[in-house]
Structure 1
Amino acid sequence: MTAARFDLKMDVEEKALVAHAAALAGTTMAAFVRNAAKEKARDLLERESRMTMSNDDFQALTKALNGAFKPNAALQNAMDLARKIRRA
């Protein structure tokens, strides 16, 4: 693993808070901050990768996905044109 450096400035009160928490956790400040940042990042990325919707919205989506597809006029014209070009 190649290490990358990340510098962080804190005010005195923040540093004291983190130092106290790290001591209670039995780890260094750097390890405490690194682990807290990774945990927060994973939580955020997991939350943002999910789609949440109401039951009504889910039912509407399911109905739309399972329903028969009928192209509108513009799409039908484009598909007809593509078929003609392919045959030529």
Structure 2
Amino acid sequence: MAWLNHNNRIILPQNKTEWFEKALVGSAILLLPITPKIAEIAVELPEHHRDPHDRLIIATAIFFDAYLMSADQKFPRYEEIKNKLV
């Protein structure tokens, strides 16, 4: 969201930090940290996806054994998350 706002793809009604904090209140959304281990997993993933942001998203889902919601056509190529994609 921050990237989309920064690149004028969307307009947020307030600054990014305030918007994120307000959006998270009362939601079930968790912001997960990117740890050195997650960065390592991202680097070691097969090259199905070259976008570093998407690779970090996939690695985070693997690390936390979390479900991942995405319409990205390349995500199902990763066996590590195949049964966790929504």
TM-score (norm 2): 0.26
Structure with greater helix share of residues: 1
Which structure carries more relative contact order (alpha carbon 8 Å, separation 6+)?
2
TM-score (norm 1): 0.26
**If you compute each CA radius of gyration, which structure gives the higher value, 1 or 2?**
1
